[in-house]
């Protein structure tokens, strides 16, 4: 009954800031971008939603960015820790994690890249505190 996963969705505070990170810094490609319609409020059970949605391709893995402009919302990541229940993350494979770490800067990462068997792994946070795992299988 279950099919394959189609995308991973993230609520972001500002679409341009999120696109700067996911598109410009991580290298994803924007495939679709549009304003939120009234049906989005029905889907999430919130009246009067306004904002924008962008879909990005990360080499066959799709990321959906949703920037709600109304009604007002809060960033629940500010007090969250990566080990807290309910705090999600997703993983993107990279060719050279050490180079990504150097290019993006250690301030963006939760820790330095760590060797786990034949993988090199590091967690980082996007501008809104969403957790992204980067994994390098080339080690």
Cα angle 43, 47, 51; round to 5: 75
Establish if 78 belongs to a structural domain.
no
Whether the Cβ atoms of residue 72 and residue 112 lie closer than 8 Å to each other: no
Give the tens place of pLDDT for each residue, 117-127.
Answer: 999 999 999 99
Helices (H) and strands (E) in the chain, counts: 3, 8
The pTM for the full model equals: 0.90
Evaluate whether 49 touches 36 at the Cβ level (below 8 Å): yes
Q: Which of 17, 35, 70 is where one domain is finished?
A: 70
Number of domains composing the chain: 2
The per-residue pLDDT for range 78-112, each reduced to its tens digit, is 888 888 888 899 999 999 999 999 999 999 999 99
Which structural domain, as residue segments, surrounds residue 37? 8-70
Q: Do 103 and 59 fall into the same domain?
A: no
My answer on whether 61 and 102 are in the same domain is no
Quick check: helix, strand or coil at residue 138? coil
Q: Are residues 66 and 22 in the same domain?
A: yes
Question: Which helix (H) or strand (E) covers residue 15, if one does?
Answer: helix 15-19
């Amino acid at each position: 009954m279950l099919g394959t996963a189609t995308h991973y969705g993230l609520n972001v505070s500002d679409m341009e800031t999120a696109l700067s990170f996911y598109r410009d810094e991580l290298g994803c490609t924007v495939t679709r971008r549009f304003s939120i319609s009234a049906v989005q409020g029905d889907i999430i059970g919130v009246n009067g939603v306004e904002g924008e949605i962008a879909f990005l391709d990360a080499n066959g893995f799709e990321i959906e960015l949703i920037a709600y402009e109304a009604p007002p919302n809060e960033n629940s990541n500010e007090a969250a820790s990566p080990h807290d229940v309910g705090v999600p993350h997703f993983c993107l494979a990279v060719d050279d994690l050490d180079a990504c770490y150097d290019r993006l800067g250690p301030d963006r990462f939760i820790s330095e890249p760590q060797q786990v068997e034949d993988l090199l792994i590091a967690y980082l946070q996007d501008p809104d505190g969403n957790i992204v795992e980067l994994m390098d299988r080339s080690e």
